[in-house]
Amino acid sequence: MKLFEDFTVKFGCNLSLIGKNIINKSGRIFLLNKNLLKYSKMNFLYAGLYLGKIKKDKIFPSLYLLSILSKIKSNKVIVDDKAAWLVICGRDIFGERILKVEGSTKKGNLVLVLNTYDECLGYGKIIHDLDKKPKQNEVFIENLLDIGDFLRRES
């Protein structure tokens, strides 16, 4: 699970999965509690909590994994209500909509996007240093995944 741990470092996190019941089913990664462990050898489609998938050594995190990361020390931004709605619609984030920044502000880093209730809506890539003064409608964070994905994947 080193790949996953390395991935979380990109958010400025130090998440350890050592000692956790992590199961890899054809590249899809699940976190099982002890009651579910006995099913781990069976041919299941889904079990416990889905953490994401690994494809060609690349990590595609689940929204649950992002929500775990948002509860520990990590790069995160809190956005206003309008931006929170636009994020769910799959849109990028304008600099002037960012209310608070924690962790790295540097261009190129990954950052979790939270609403004003401190709930993780997704993550993105910083494309302008976050300490720079934004111009109007200037995109600071490129949206890479958001909770609106639950709607888009079914349509």
Partner 1 sequence: MNKKDFFIKRYKQLGWDFVDANPKQAIRINTCNIEPEKLLIRLKKIGVKLIEIPFLKNAFWINKSRVSLGATAEYLLGFYSIQDAASQIPVSTFTKLRRKKVLDACAAPGGKTVQLANFMDNTGVIVAIDMSKKRLIALINHLERCHVKNSVVFHLDARQTSVLNIKFDRILIDAPCSGNFTVDNNWFNRRTIEDIKQNAILQRELLTKCVNSLNDHGEIVYSTCSLEPEENELNMDWAIRNLNLKIEKIDCFGEEGVKNVYGKKLHSSVTRCKRIWPGKTQGFFICKLRKKW
Report the alpha-carbon distance of residue 145 to residue 72 in Å, rounded: 19
The residue within the footprint of partner 1, chosen from 83, 86, 88, 110 (CB under 8 A), is: 88
Closest CA to 64 of 48, 82, 80: 48
Closest CA to 95 of 61, 133, 52: 133
Return the number of the residue (35 or 136) whose C-beta is nearest partner 1: 35
Closest CA to 126 of 6, 10, 16, 17: 10
Q: Does 42 bind partner 1 (CB under 8 A)?
A: yes
Q: Does 36 bind partner 1 (CB under 8 A)?
A: yes
Q: Does 116 bind partner 1 (CB under 8 A)?
A: no
Q: Does 155 bind partner 1 (CB under 8 A)?
A: no
**3-state SS class at 7:** helix
The residue within the footprint of partner 1, chosen from 85, 96, 125, 139 (CB under 8 A), is: 85
DSSP letters of 84-100? HHHHHTT--EEGGGEEE
Return the number of the residue (41 or 133) whose C-beta is nearest partner 1: 41
Q: Does 61 bind partner 1 (CB under 8 A)?
A: no
Q: Which stretches of the chain bind partner 1, using CB under 8 A?
A: 33, 35-36, 39, 42-50, 62-64, 67, 84-85, 88, 115, 117, 119, 121, 147-148, 150-151, 153-154
